[in-house]
Amino acid sequence: MRNIALRLSYDGTNYHGWQVQKTDITVAETVEKALSVICEHPVKVVGCGRTDAGVHALRYCCNFKTDCRIPIERIPLAVNSRLPDDIAAVDAVQAPEDFNSILSCEKKEYIYKIHNSRIKDPFLTNRVCFYPSKLDAERMKRAARAFEGTHDFRAVRSVGTETKTTVRTIYWCELEQTGELITMRVCANGFLYNMVRAIMGTVVYAGLGKLEPESIPDLLKAGDRRLTGPTMPPQGLYMSRVWYDGAVGEMMMR
């Protein structure tokens, strides 16, 4: 039985997130159906994270077990022949027997994109968060950097999946502006439910002058979700990078 790691990219607009649901169509369900056809047996995939409805992935990793003998280099082409246009299998590699896409993950990076303009761009619909109010990017940069380090992040999470601890380490939280596009990039050893979207909402509040960037460490210590910014819409959020050891890690960085 082979353990195959598969690198994906997808537009999450038409899906109710990654995780298989009872009634709604999801990315995992769609990928499993395609794999089950080409492998000629039922396939279950393990994903590297539970992206929410409407969230996208530039790089995403899942793994599955199979006894089919399709050459590894042909698996992406075979899967893509059965996938819709908004999901793509980019690469595949044979992983160690004990590899698990979520448990073996070392760190992840997300990006969040805001189109800060008075006029919406129809070509960016469902790809960015359209935000017409004027934002101060310099204040937002200071606010983003305030989230770096090891903290209890319960002040920037939504009620959802229970975890043993709400302490995480953010390795970088950086923001840049190019014209009307504002992009935040955040990398951590793990994320809480809606954590990136809540961080972005808090950074936006700083950009609006509703809170001071220097107050963010105290807001994290207080741990009160009501004191931080709103949870931003999912359309601007992308899983951008995932880190692993060995051959899977090399595949994800190609």
Query: What's the pLDDT tens digit per position in 208-239?
Result: 999 999 999 999 999 999 999 999 999 999 99
pLDDT band at 24 (very low <50, low <70, confident <90, very high): very high
Architecture in CATH for domain 107-240:
2-Layer Sandwich (3.30)
- Helices and strands, number each (H, E), in the chain: 6, 10
Taking only the tens place, the pLDDT of each residue in 40-54 is 999 999 999 989 999
pLDDT band at 110 (very low <50, low <70, confident <90, very high): very high
Query: For residues 133 and 180, is the Cβ–Cβ distance under 8 A?
Result: no
Residues 6+ apart with CB under 8 A from 160: 193, 194
Cα distance between residue 246 and residue 110, in whole Å: 22
pTM of the model: 0.95
Look at residues 184, 211, 85, 207 and name the one whose alpha carbon lies nearest to residue 128: 184
Look at residues 143, 161, 173, 36 and name the one whose alpha carbon lies nearest to residue 102: 161
2-104 and 107-240 agree in CATH topology: yes
DSSP symbols for 8-19: EEE-GGGSS-SS
| Mean pLDDT, residues 90-94 | 98
Is the domain covering 2-104 a CATH 1.10.510.10 domain?
A: no
| Mean pLDDT, residues 11-37 | 97
Query: For residues 152 and 223, is the Cβ–Cβ distance under 8 A?
Result: yes
Q: Where are the domains of the chain?
A: 2-104, 107-240
| Mean pLDDT, residues 129-141 | 98
Where do runs of H (alpha helix) occur along 55-125? 75-80
Q: Quick check: is 86 catalytic?
A: no
Radius of gyration of the chain (CA): 19
Catalytic residue among 11, 52, 67, 224: 52
